[in-house]
Chains A and B, each alone.
Chain A
Amino acid sequence: MTAPMSWRPLVRPARFRRAADMALAGLPLVAGAAAPAWRLAGAGAALAVAAIGAVAVLAVAAGAARQIDARWLVRALDAARPDMEDSAGLVFADAPATTPLALLQRSRLEARLAAAAPVDLRGGWHIGRLAIAWAVGLLAVGAALLLPPGAPTATRLAAPETEALSPPGVPRLVGQRLHIVPPAYTGLPARYESSLDAKVLEGSRIEWTLRYAPAPAAVALKFLPAETVPLRLTGADWGAVRGFNRSLLYRILPSGASASRLHRIDVTPDTPPTIRIVTPARSLSLSKPGQRDWVLQFDAADDHAVNAIGQLHIILAQGDGENIKFVEKTLQLRGTGPVAARRFAAQLDLKALGFAPGNDLVAQLIISDNRSPGPQQGASANVILRWPPPSAIEGSGIDGVVKKVLPAYFRSQRQIIIDAEALVKQQRSIPAPKFVARSDGIGGDQALLRMRYAQFLGGEHEEQRNALPTGDGDAAAKPAGDDDPLAGFGHEHDETASEALDPATQATLRLALDQMWDSERELRQGRPQQALPHAYAALRFIKTVQQATRIFLARSGATLPPIDESRRLTGDRKGLEPQRLQLAVQPGDAASAVVTAWRGLAAGPVTAPLLDGLEVWLAANPGRAADPLAIAAAIDDLRRDPGCIACRMALRGQLWTVLARPPAGVARRAGPDAMGRRYLGALDTPQ
């Protein structure tokens, strides 16, 4: 006699399936209830609704799952498996079977159950129900997003700040409210403002609600300088809506009553996104030997949201000197992190980009924010990866460019030594005339090299030497001809080369040239063996020059008028005469309307022409005032109450920021009085 078989493991999958089915249908409904609550009553209410809904859904799902019990299993097994022979109830009966037949049947069924694969008893998904529930939930969430966000004060009007006394019968403002709806892309909630001044985001809409007692015939909003928005009466309240893209001043004009003071709507513009370069740390980095990729990281931040896709512009500069080729490429990067501060990262494969020695790789990230319409773009600074070329130029100082190493042709003195040594080795194997000819050829190379080096001394070195002993010097050394009279009086300087070296280096180079001369002389005479010590010495000096030298190359400076060579140093002063210097005085704004107003406001009652002139000047000089609205408001205050001293001082304070500071002048000191003069005179009298 065995205990009845446990039914629970057999129904567990079915129970899960039914609970999941119910929960999946319930969740969108919960979300659909929570979203309007969040929109209307805030996040707390939404959380509460969601929690209650979730508990309810879980309870329903659990209840539905619990309906799957032993009887359900028996029915399901009987229905699903013919070999159960409608007697599965015997296996899972609560009461143990007593009859032998029942016992027998039960043991047969148990054997069959154990032998056969378990039957999938899970019910199907209720597709229709799920679809309906999800549709309803999504609709509810969508509707909630479109709903205007609510606030507890939505229905109440605030009392005006100043309870101005007005005679009975004249309309008086008794209630006011601003409803400010920021642009949708910001994701900010709308809010209510009890004051008539507000600070709003660019693109916001503002709805006025004003209440008057008694009700005036009409109410309008007058925006400076010239725009009128009439208010519509709904119920007891006057209302109007206007969008704002720039800061404005306005006043309320109820008919039959005096206009209000100026109110100010300050518009905060949406700032473009900013990018900070995280990696690399410096804008110019040199590639390390064996570097295969370049890691870039940027932090992008915006006041609302950064677009997740950024463009990485890559420019590969190939080539040297004037022959540079640019290859441009753009990569799409996807940002990670929160919407307002995303991080963009890229790993550039240098080989794939074709990065080679002497190349520059420049990268710049460009991103945009989610402003609509007109997303704003932000670009990072350029970061440069440089594969240093064999010789690098470093810039420093203001009057020159420092070139750190000498040009490559300083190296070929070694080649002359190699050639000469090779010739010495071959001396016995080649005939003497050929030997002398080859030696002369090497001497010619040595001469060319010497002349190239001599450029760095401005050619001065050439004249200090006599003609070659053999008399077969190159043509450049020919004496000055008659067609060049100036050549007899001076020598030409090669500006760029001769002044490029400091005196110590010039001296070393001069020693090298001397050695080259000697080396050349021996080579030309067919004595390479004797030339070698001089060639080695020249090489040694050149090495010193190469290691020590920084060459200064002058930048192009002022172009001076040509010197009249025919009069230079002759003492001829004909035609030279004193010259008048003109000094064009820059007109300040000492006579402008703003200065006049500054002085006029210092004392006495304010006149209308003064303020008119100031307004005209401000309109003509829009860039001068940092806060033109504040000045306009101060002018308006003064117009309404010309005798108000505090308003006058406030406007003067605003004008102080607009006034340009003229160059500091000279105030004459006060002179001594009669006694002071006598004192100074007595001091000056010789004892």
Chain B
Amino acid sequence: MTPEHGLALLLASAVLLAWARLLFWRAQVGGWRLAALIGLQPVFAALLYLTLLPPRGGAADAILVIATRGAPAFLSSAGERLVALPEAPFRAGVERAPDLATALRRHPADRLRVIGQGLEPRDRDTVGDRALVFTAPPAHGLVRIDPPGPVAPGGVFQLGGQVVDVPGGTVALIDPAGRRVDGAKADAAFLLSGTVRAAGTATFVLRLRDASGRVVTDVQVPVLARATLAPRVLLLSGAAGPEIKYLRRWAGDAGLALVTRIAVGGGVEIGDPPVALTPAGLAPFDLMIIDDRSWAGLAGGERAALMGAVRGGRGLLLRSDGPLAAVTRQQWQALGFGIGPAISTARLAPVADDAAFRARRGDLGDPLAARDDLPELTRLALAPQAGMVALARAADGTLLAGWRGLGSGRIGFVGTIDSFALTLAGHGDRHAEFWSGLVTVLARPGSMAAMVPILPRAGERTRVCRIGTQAAVVAPDGTTMRLLRDPTANDCAAWWPSEAGWHEIRQRDASGGSVATPVFVMAADSFPAAQAAADGDATAQLVSDGTGAKAALTVGARGSPLPWFLAWLVSAVVLWGIERRRTAVFA
């Protein structure tokens, strides 16, 4: 029961009461006066109702034109009211509003037409069920980048993006020293990669040039190299060999906690102290790497324990030192890997050019290694299958490794047999990248870190989730701001960064220590094409013809109560006059 209904009921009952009083207590009054009194009561009540709740304005059918950032300079046609939001270019004679909500309060409308590049995040919620007409302006230039997530020190990161309508353009990734590390043609979507050095933040630059070599856009790309708790890896091998030797070397240098067991026949093993392949024994590990000979030698209980560990969230990487025995191949095919019997060769893709090759390796790489003399790797054929995700590919696109989920864990298969040849050919960095990629994807995930926003912009509301108590954000200039956590909303908090650069979100971890998560905030005016594209996309999703909102159409602003009040006053005077006169007569 709405207040309107309640008021109407109240007034109706008052009218009935008045009629009863007139008829029963004042029955001596008769003639036209009684008729007038009875007739005027509902009119009086209705006028009081309208005074208290004046009817909604008649402007509900009007179209309100909202000028946003990048709106063209034109005048609205007749019958449309134009309101400019603060981002719209200033034009004399156009009414301005601080936001869309204010504009709608001033000029109620159930239909909106948005011109310009689209509504800001601030205004998108205000649209509600209104009909909205919007045509995104054609995009141009670099409209999207997908910045890389945190990488391990020394690791490789990938940067995706999209360029629209720059014929003959090129994109290049520039490292902090100003050297080009990768490049691509700027047609549609592109994927670039680079390498990081020591742990810490680094700011790369993505540079878009047009066909004439002029720089169209320079965008700062934040890259965070973070040393996390290294995964614990169990390496089971049925024989010693160079692949194991160089895998151990990489794992040791990369800081992995590696437990190795290499069978050398006759029940003799070399490596680390034996590990029981039981649920309890496998519990500490994040990833198990096993070769075909060890697999074939597993007892039934051990295999079950291994699979159970995978279901519980751990990773399992299957590898081999040669063609698989038929039984093993069938078992691994049953796990979802289309492994062929044939052995063939493949090569990894070389870096784009020599300068990028040197810049990526750093100045301490093997000086004799050439960019494109990558060795041929021997591999077992792996066919793509539904449900299997590619982990590594050769230069010609053939699958070298893949993984699929099992429970909360992941099982992977790597087809290369002699990846150590990379190291021997002077490409130890590629060997490390290859295995780093495999282990990163397959190993049990680390603890959930704070979920930080992707490329927030200075001046915009920036939301960070999964934060702990006493979280604070430190701006580049050193100012610290406490974040108010909302436990009912996924432990999220938000703030409005005022300046661009690397911010730090500091919070306490479980042990009481301080954990800092860097977040890069873009300058408000950088990379405008992407902002235009994002605003346009978001506004385009609000476009509707308003049919689902007929009920809301009348919910315009209420009109002025003043005329109704005057009418009510007149009717009250008339009623009073008639009533007085009747009293006077009887008196």
**Which residues of A are interface residues toward B (Cβ below 8 A)?**
573, 576-581, 583-586, 588-590, 595, 598-599, 602-605, 624, 626, 645, 649, 652-654, 656-673, 677, 680-681, 683-684
A661-B196, A673-B448 are known; give 6 further A-B pairs, CB within 8 A: A573-B268, A578-B269, A580-B273, A663-B428, A663-B432, A666-B256
Chain A binding surface SS class: loop
Chain A residues in 8 Å Cβ range of B248: 581, 583
B364 interfacial contact with A, CB 8 Å: yes
Chain B residues in 8 Å Cβ range of A677: 408
The listed residue with most A CB atoms (<10 A of its CB), out of B408, B435, B441, is B408
Chain B residues in 8 Å Cβ range of A668: 228-229, 231, 440, 443-446
B197 in contact with A662 (CB, 8 Å): yes
In the bound assembly, the distance between CA atoms of A49 and B199 in angstroms comes to 69
B440 in contact with A576 (CB, 8 Å): no
Complex: chain B residue closest to A600, CB-CB: B200
**Which residues of B are interface residues toward A (Cβ below 8 A)?**
149-156, 175-179, 195-203, 226-231, 248-250, 252-256, 258, 260, 262, 266, 268-274, 311, 313, 361-365, 405-408, 428-429, 432-433, 435-436, 439-441, 443-449, 451, 466, 474, 476, 478, 502, 504
Chain B residues in 8 Å Cβ range of A672: 408, 445
The listed residue with most B CB atoms (<10 A of its CB), out of A605, A645, A684, is A684
The listed residue with most B CB atoms (<10 A of its CB), out of A667, A669, A684, is A667
Complex: chain B residue closest to A652, CB-CB: B176
A664 in contact with B156 (CB, 8 Å): yes
Complex: chain B residue closest to A592, CB-CB: B198
In the bound assembly, the distance between CA atoms of A95 and B225 in angstroms comes to 114
From B226, B273, B364, B445, give the contact of A660 (CB < 8 A). B364
From B253, B405, B444, give the contact of A683 (CB < 8 A). B405
Chain B residues in 8 Å Cβ range of A598: 197-198, 200
Can you report 21 A-B residue pairs in the complex whose CB atoms are below 8 A from each other? A580-B270, A585-B253, A588-B253, A590-B199, A598-B197, A649-B203, A661-B362, A662-B253, A663-B254, A663-B436, A664-B156, A664-B435, A665-B154, A665-B256, A665-B436, A666-B436, A668-B228, A671-B448, A672-B408, A680-B408, A684-B406
Complex: chain A residue closest to B267, CB-CB: A573
A583 in contact with B252 (CB, 8 Å): yes
In the bound assembly, the distance between CA atoms of A573 and B266 in angstroms comes to 8
Given contact pairs A580-B271, A581-B260, A624-B363, A667 touches B408 in the complex (Cβ within 8 A): no
B436 in contact with A595 (CB, 8 Å): no
Chain A residues in 8 Å Cβ range of B203: 649
B432 in contact with A664 (CB, 8 Å): yes
In the bound assembly, the distance between CA atoms of A660 and B266 in angstroms comes to 44
What 6 A-B pairs come out closest when comparing CB atoms? A668-B446, A671-B445, A665-B152, A661-B362, A662-B154, A664-B436
A599 in contact with B253 (CB, 8 Å): no
Chain B binding surface SS class: loop
Given contact pairs A576-B268, A683-B405, A663 touches B226 in the complex (Cβ within 8 A): no
A667 in contact with B228 (CB, 8 Å): yes
Complex: chain A residue closest to B150, CB-CB: A667
Chain A residues in 8 Å Cβ range of B429: 661, 663-664
Given contact pairs A578-B268, A673-B448, A680-B407, A665 touches B176 in the complex (Cβ within 8 A): no
B445 in contact with A577 (CB, 8 Å): no
Distance of B46 from chain A, by nearest CB (Å): 55
Given contact pairs A668-B445, A671-B445, A662 touches B254 in the complex (Cβ within 8 A): yes
Chain B residues in 8 Å Cβ range of A664: 152, 154-156, 195, 254, 429, 432-433, 435-436
In the bound assembly, the distance between CA atoms of A661 and B177 in angstroms comes to 14
B154 in contact with A604 (CB, 8 Å): no
Distance of B422 from chain A, by nearest CB (Å): 12
Given contact pairs A666-B436, A667-B228, A660 touches B197 in the complex (Cβ within 8 A): yes
Distance of A190 from chain B, by nearest CB (Å): 34
From A573, A583, A671, give the contact of B447 (CB < 8 A). A671
Complex: chain A residue closest to B313, CB-CB: A671
In the bound assembly, the distance between CA atoms of A588 and B253 in angstroms comes to 8
Given contact pairs A672-B408, A680-B407, A667 touches B155 in the complex (Cβ within 8 A): yes
Chain B residues in 8 Å Cβ range of A605: 478
Chain A residues in 8 Å Cβ range of B249: 583
Chain B residues in 8 Å Cβ range of A671: 313, 444-448
B230 in contact with A666 (CB, 8 Å): yes
A576 in contact with B178 (CB, 8 Å): no
Distance of B48 from chain A, by nearest CB (Å): 54
Complex: chain B residue closest to A604, CB-CB: B478
Complex: chain A residue closest to B440, CB-CB: A666
Distance of A344 from chain B, by nearest CB (Å): 31
In the bound assembly, the distance between CA atoms of A599 and B175 in angstroms comes to 16
In the bound assembly, the distance between CA atoms of A402 and B179 in angstroms comes to 46
Chain A residues in 8 Å Cβ range of B258: 583
In the bound assembly, the distance between CA atoms of A579 and B156 in angstroms comes to 36
